[in-house]
Amino acid sequence: MRTKGSSAEPEARRLRAAELLGKGKGTNEVARLVGVTASCVSKGKKALRKRGPAGLRARPQPGRTPRLNGSQTRRLVATIKRGAVAAGYDSDLWTCRRVRDLIGKTFGVRYDFNHVGRILHALGFSVQKPEARARERDETAIQRWRKKDWPRLKETRGG
């Protein structure tokens, strides 16, 4: 399975391997120099024999075309960045289910919420867990403790 990213890098490795093979280097040595396995070099060698240099070029990866096009994806990212409250939700927490519902309402495209997580990850978003805070939390009392009590406690310990 090809690693994620540009197809230019693996193609360049295959072309470099073909060049080294053309200079009379062995399969194992080429594999070591290029940074791939010997079986990869053998496959490339076979493709080169069958189809010539065109056999070493990157081919499009098979798979279904995305249901959201580029402009829809950009709109989705912009909506997510504005926040869930701006999108009509009662809290500013995005969940995969909420994003799935947003995609359905906005673009008429249905995804399973599990797949939405993969889409969000591919768009550069990561899982964030909201910080749990007590309902009874008193911010002014916490600030007062930090300014008055904490320095006093640090002094008594010799810190």
Q: pLDDT per residue over 95-110, tens digit each? A: 999 999 999 999 999 9
Cα–Cα distances in angstroms (integers) from residue 141 to residues 131, 132, 135, in the given order: 19, 18, 14
Could you tell me the two tokens for 6? Answer: 């540009």
Query: What is d(CA 43, CA 134) in angstroms, rounded to the nearest whole number?
Result: 60
Is-contact 14 56, C-beta < 8 A? Answer: yes
Mean of pLDDT values over 148-155? 86
Helix H or strand E encompassing 98? helix 96-107
Summary mean pLDDT of the chain? 89
pLDDT of residue 61: 73
Is-contact 67 109, C-beta < 8 A? Answer: yes
Tell whether the model's pLDDT for residue 138 goes beyond 70.
yes
Tell whether the model's pLDDT for residue 2 goes beyond 60.
no
Q: Residue 73 — φ and ψ, nearest 5°?
A: -65, -45
Tell whether the model's pLDDT for residue 148 goes beyond 70.
yes
pLDDT of residue 119: 94
Tell whether the model's pLDDT for residue 3 goes beyond 80.
no
Residue percentage of the chain with pLDDT more than 90: 64
Tell whether the model's pLDDT for residue 72 goes beyond 90.
yes
Q: Residue 26 — φ and ψ, nearest 5°?
A: -80, 165
Q: pLDDT per residue over 17-42, tens digit each? A: 999 999 999 999 999 999 999 999 99
Query: What is d(CA 104, CA 97) in angstroms, rounded to the nearest whole number?
Result: 11
Residue with tokens 């290029």: 34
Tell whether the model's pLDDT for residue 5 goes beyond 70.
no
Torsion of CA 15, 17, 23, 24, to 10 degrees: -140
Is-contact 78 68, C-beta < 8 A? Answer: no
pTM for the predicted model, two decimal places: 0.52
pLDDT of residue 154: 82
pLDDT of residue 158: 61
Is-contact 13 40, C-beta < 8 A? Answer: no
